[in-house]
Amino acid sequence: MNIQINRIISEVNKINFLWTTIFFLLCLSLNLSSEIYSQESSEKLPSGKDLFIKNRCVNCHTIGRGRFVGPDLAGVGSRYSKEEIEQWMGNPQLIYQSKGKMPINEGYPPMPPLEVSPEEAGFIADYLLSVKTPTVSKAKGGVIKGMVVNATSEETTKGIELTLMAYLGDRPTDQKKVKTASDGSFNFSNLAWDRSYTISLNYKG
C-alpha cells in the first residue's frame, strides 16, 4: 500500500511539474509577444512634429518665430491645457463657446475647423507641450536647403528645377525657383519668417 501511494504521489508530482513548465513557457511566450508588439507599435507611432506639418498647422502658426496668421505657439502650455489644445484642432467652436468670444486673440482671424482626429490631435498637443523654442535671428532671414537624390539608383541629381512657394495661411504669395547643383544640393536663402513654404519639383514629366 505504501509503495502504491508513493507511486501515485510521484505521478501527481510529475503532472504538477509538467503543468508548471507549460504555464511558464506560456507566460514567457505571451511576454515575448507583448514585447514584440510593443516594439512594433512604438516604431509606427506618428511624430507630433510631422503631424503638425501634415495638418497644415504651420500655414498659420510658428513656434518661437513670432506672430503669423495665428498666434505664436511657443509656451502654449501656459495658456491652455492639453485637452484645450486638442479641442482647438478638433472643434475650435467649442472653445469659442466656452470663452464667449470669437476670436479670442485680438488681431487674428478665427481658427478654422481642421477636424484633426483625436489621436493625431493628442500627438500634436504632446509635441507642442514638449518642443523647445528655437533661437533664431529674424533679421537674417530663413534658409531652406537640402539635396535631391534618386531613390532608385541612390544617385544625386543635378540640374533639377525646384519651385519654392510661399504662403500666408492657405494663400500663395510668392515663389522662387532654383536648380540643383552638381552634387544634387539646393539652397533657398533670405526667406521671410512670416510665411510658410512648400517645395515641388518636376522630374522627367
pLDDT of residue 14: 45
Among residues 61, 60, 88, the alpha carbon closest in space to that of 171 is found at: 60
Q: What's the pLDDT at 43?
A: 55
Coil, helix or strand for 158?
coil
Where the chain has pLDDT below 50, the residues are 1-30, 32-38, 40-42
pLDDT, residue 58, reads 86
Say if residues 19 and 27 touch (Cβ distance below 8 Å): no
CA atoms within 13 A on the CB side of 154: 0
